[in-house]
Amino acid sequence: MSTKHKIESLIENVNFKGKNISKQIGEIPDFPFEHFSDLIDAIKSRHASLLRHSLAIEGSIFSAVGDRNEKIFYFIGQALSWGAIPLGLILAVLLSWWLLIVAIFMYFYGKSIVSDTYNKSIFRSAMKNEQIFCFLYHHNQISIGLSHDKSVHYYKNS
C-alpha cells in the first residue's frame, strides 16, 4: 500500500473519532499560505522553513510515511539502542566494566539514528503531498517557520 493510501486510512480513523483533518492547507485556520505550491516555493526560496514541532516519535505515523530503506535504518537504530543495554551489561560482567561506556555510546548512537531517520522521513513526506502535510501538521509533527517575521505556525488544538 502506498504512503498516500496509508495516510488516507489514518485520516479516516481520526475523522471517524470526530476530529476533522483538513485535506488542503487553505482549509487550515490561521495558516500563512493558501496553496501547497506557494508553501513549497516559499520553502525552496528560504522564506519559510519546515520544522519538526514534536520530539515524540510515533510508530504508526512512521510506518505510514517511511519507505523501505528508512524502516531498515530505523530498525538498526532501535536494535543498537535497545540491544546496547543488555549486551553492555553482559560484556561488562564477563570482560570488563569499561565496556559499559561503549554500551552507553551505542545506546545514544542508536537513538540518533532513529531520530534522524524519523525526521528525514517526516520532512520528505510532508514536502511530497498536500494531504500528508495536513495530516502531519494536524498531529503536531511539523510546523512552519516564516523568515520575514520569525513566526512559527503550528496546529493549535481547538
The 10s digit of each residue's pLDDT in 91-113 is: 888 888 887 888 889 999 999 99
Looking at the domain assignment, is residue 120 inside a domain?
yes
Element (H, E) at 152: strand 152-153
Q: How far is 103 from 60, CA to CA, in rounded Å?
A: 28
pLDDT tens profile 9-38: 776 766 656 667 778 888 888 889 999 999
Q: Do 78 and 110 touch, CB atoms closer than 8 A?
A: yes
Looking at the domain assignment, is residue 39 inside a domain?
yes
Residue 27, domain extent: 3-153
Q: How many distinct structural domains can be found in the chain? A: 1
pTM as predicted: 0.81
Looking at the domain assignment, is residue 158 inside a domain?
no
Grid coordinates given for 158: 481547538
Looking at the domain assignment, is residue 130 inside a domain?
yes
